Amino acid sequence: MSPETLLKEPSVQAEASLFSSEGFDSYVMTTYGRFAIALERGLGCRVWDTEGREYLDFVAGIATCTLGHAHPAMVAAVTQQIQTLHHVSNLYYIPVQGELAKWLVDHSCADRAFFCNSGAEANEAAIKLARKYAHEQLNISNPTIITAVASFHGRTLATITATGQPKYQKGFSPLVPGFHYVPYNDISAIELAIEQLDKDERQVAAIMLEALQGEGGVRPGDIAYFQRIREICDEKGILLILDEVQVGMGRSGKYWGYENLGIEPDIFTSAKGLGGGIPIGAMLCKSHCDVFEPGSHASTFGGNPFACAVALCVCQTLERENLLENVQQRGAQLKAGLNQLAAAYPNLIAEVRGWGLIVGLELQADIALTSADIVKSAIAAGVLLVPAGPKVLRFVPPLIVSAAEVDRALLAVEEALRSQAVH
Ligand SMILES: *Cc1c(COP(=O)(O)O)cnc(C)c1O
C-alpha cells in the first residue's frame, strides 16, 4: 500500500502501519531489524500483539521494565505525578529529584547523582566527569579512558567510541579521541596497556567497564580481575567507572552489579531498569571525584519531576516487595533449567552464565543455529527473548517474574531446541 492510500484511508492506516514495510517503514527510519509482531498492550510479564496474541515477555524492553507492565504502583505514580507537576527545569529545586538521588545514594556506594535520560547520556556524563577530573585533579592534558573489547556503552559518538565493537563504529568516523580497548577479564592486558599509554603520553584517567557485559554476550566480570583493577586504580589515582545501565537496579540479584564483584567503583551509571520503562538515566559518583560545578553539564529533561517520581516508585517497590529475593530465586530456577537443557543438548549449547535475572545461553560455535533462530521459534511459541550477539540467547524478564512463568519460558526454549535437534 502506498503512503498516499494510507493517508486517504485512515481506517486501514492503523492496521497496515503496524506491520508492512510500506506502512511503518515508510514513516519510521529503518534503524532497527524488527521481529514481525506489533505489540500494543501489556500486563505483568505478558504483552499482547495487535492480533490479540499473548506473549510471555522475557525481554522486558531489554532489561528495562523492572516491574513488568502496568504495575499498579507505577500506574499510581505516573498518574499522581502527571496531575501534579511533570516538568519544570533544573533552574529550580525539584524535591522528588532530591528524593530519588537520596534513595540511590542510600542504596549504593555513591555520594551524589546527576540525572539525564538514557544510558548513553549517563555514560557521556561519566566520560565528561572523568576528563574534567583528569585535567583538574590529575594534571593529565591528554587523558585516555580504557574500555573493554565486546563492551557496549551506547550510541552517541563518544559512547560508540567507548564501545569496543567495530560494528557500532563503522561509517561514523572520525570517532572521539581518547579511548583505548583491552580484552575483558584479562588483567595482564590492562596492566600492559596502562604502562604503554603512560609512555605514549596518553595517561589513563579512567577505566570504564561493565560489571557484566550485557550486549557483548552476557559475560560476568571476574572477581579477581575487578579486585586487581580496583587496586591498580587506587595505586595510580585512576577512576573506575562501571556501566551499570543493564545489570544494575536489582537485575543481578543485588542492587548493583559491582556488589557481585566485592568492589566499589568511583563512578557508575544507571538507566534501563531505573525508570522501569520511563526514560531516565543517572550518573552517580563518590564525592572525591565530583568536580562538576554549575554550568559543567546539563540536560533539559534530565531529572524532571515525572521521570524522577516514577523512578523513585520503581526503587521503593523493589525494596518494599523484596524483589531482590525474587530475582535470586527465579534466577537460580532459570539457570538450573537452562543447565538441564545444556546437559540434554550438549551439541547445541556451549554454556549457561549470568547473574540473577540476566542470564545468557551460548550456542555451540560450530553449528549453523543462531540465537535469532531460537528467538523466532520462541516467538512462535509465545515467548519473547532477545539475542546478545549471534550465538547468545539472553533472558532478562521483569524482576517480578513468577516461578510458573520461568517454567513456561524454559519450555519454549526446550521446544525450539528439540525441533533443531531433529533437523
Ligand atoms: C543499553 C545500554 C547502554 C545504552 O543505553 P541507552 O539508554 O540505549 O542509551 C549503555 N550501556 C549498557 C551496558 C547498556 O546495556
Q: What is the pLDDT of residues 194-239, one digit of tens each?
A: 999 999 999 999 999 999 999 999 999 999 999 999 999 999 999 9
**pLDDT above 70 for 16:** no
Using the mean position of ligand 1's atoms as its centre, give its distance from the Cα of residue 347 in Å: 33
Using the mean position of ligand 1's atoms as its centre, give its distance from the Cα of residue 272 in Å: 7
Do 74-320 and 322-367+374-380+400-423 fold alike per CATH? no
Q: Please give the pLDDT value at position 18.
A: 52
Q: Please give the pLDDT value at position 423.
A: 54
Q: Please give the pLDDT value at position 422.
A: 63
Using the mean position of ligand 1's atoms as its centre, give its distance from the Cα of residue 344 in Å: 34
Q: Is the CB of 153 under 6 A from ligand 1?
A: yes
Mean pLDDT of the chain: 94
CA-to-CA separations, 387 to 62, 97, 145, 359, in angstroms, rounded:
10, 34, 28, 11
Distance in angstroms (rounded) separating the CA atoms of residues 123 and 281: 9
Distance in angstroms (rounded) separating the CA atoms of residues 208 and 166: 17
Best residue among 31, 65, 117, 152 to mutate for probing ligand 1, ranked by most atoms within 8 Å of CB: 152
Q: Is the CB of 243 under 6 A from ligand 1?
A: yes
Distance in angstroms (rounded) separating the CA atoms of residues 9 and 117: 37
Give the Cα-Cα-Cα angle 252, 249, 247 (nearest 5 degrees).
45
Instruction: Residue 70: count other Cβ atoms within 10 Å of its Cβ.
Output: 13
pLDDT digits over 366-402, tens only? 999 999 999 999 999 999 999 999 999 999 999 999 9
Q: Please give the pLDDT value at position 26.
A: 87
The partner residues of 209 in beta bridges, in order of sequence, read 242
> Under CATH, which number does the domain 322-367+374-380+400-423 receive?
3.90.1150.10
Q: Please give the pLDDT value at position 23.
A: 83
Please name which of 236, 285, 235 lies closest in space to residue 265, comparing C-alpha atoms.
Answer: 285
**Residues 313-338: what's their mean pLDDT?**
98
Q: Please give the pLDDT value at position 296.
A: 97
CA-nearest residue, atom 10 of ligand 1: 153
Using the mean position of ligand 1's atoms as its centre, give its distance from the Cα of residue 386 in Å: 15
Closest atom of ligand 1 relative to the 120 alpha carbon? 9
% residues pLDDT > 90 (the chain): 92
The phi and psi torsions of 77 (rounded to 5 degrees) equal -65, -45
Contact in structure between 145 and 162 (CB atoms under 8 Å): yes
Best residue among 117, 124, 246, 299 to mutate for probing ligand 1, ranked by most atoms within 8 Å of CB: 246
pLDDT digits over 242-257, tens only? 999 999 999 999 999 9
Using the mean position of ligand 1's atoms as its centre, give its distance from the Cα of residue 165 in Å: 14
Closest atom of ligand 1 relative to the 279 alpha carbon? 7
Bond preceding residue 174 cis, omega within 30 of 0: yes
The conformation of residue 29, written as its DSSP 8-state character, comes to -
Please name which of 260, 262, 263, 280 lies closest in space to residue 271, comparing C-alpha atoms.
Answer: 280
**Residues 298-310: what's their mean pLDDT?**
98
pLDDT digits over 167-192, tens only? 999 999 999 999 999 999 999 999 99
109 contacts: CB under 8 Å, gap ≥ 6 = 256, 258, 264, 265, 286
pLDDT digits over 70-118, tens only? 999 999 999 999 999 999 999 999 999 999 999 999 999 999 999 999 9
The partner residues of 1 in beta bridges, in order of sequence, read none
CA-to-CA separations, 19 to 30, 43, 373, in angstroms, rounded:
13, 22, 20
Best residue among 124, 215, 392 to mutate for probing ligand 1, ranked by most atoms within 8 Å of CB: 215
Q: Is the CB of 265 under 6 A from ligand 1?
A: no
**pLDDT above 70 for 365:** yes
pLDDT grade for 1, boundaries at 50, 70 and 90: very low
Best CATH choice for the domain 74-320 from the list 3.40.640.10, 2.60.120.260, 3.30.43.10, 3.40.1350.10: 3.40.640.10
**Residues 288-300: what's their mean pLDDT?**
97
CA-nearest residue, atom 5 of ligand 1: 119
Q: Is the CB of 214 under 6 A from ligand 1?
A: yes
Q: Is the CB of 215 under 6 A from ligand 1?
A: yes
**pLDDT above 90 for 303:** yes
Please name which of 316, 323, 319 lies closest in space to residue 99, comparing C-alpha atoms.
Answer: 316
pLDDT digits over 57-72, tens only? 999 999 999 999 999 9
pLDDT grade for 346, boundaries at 50, 70 and 90: very high
Half-sphere exposure of 181 (CA within 13 A, CB side): 15
Using the mean position of ligand 1's atoms as its centre, give its distance from the Cα of residue 269 in Å: 10
Domain ranges of the chain: 74-320, 322-367+374-380+400-423
Three-state DSSP state, 348: coil
DSSP assignment of 200-238 equals TT--EEEEEEESEESTTTSEEPPHHHHHHHHHHHHHHT-
Q: Please give the pLDDT value at position 7.
A: 38
The partner residues of 333 in beta bridges, in order of sequence, read none
Burial of 200 (0-12, 13-18, 19+ CB in 10 A): exposed
Name the grid cell of 230: 580496583
**pLDDT above 90 for 355:** yes
Distance in angstroms (rounded) separating the CA atoms of residues 351 and 219: 11
Q: Is the CB of 246 under 6 A from ligand 1?
A: yes
Name the grid cell of 47: 504483552
The pTM assigned to this predicted structure is: 0.94
Q: Please give the pLDDT value at position 20.
A: 58
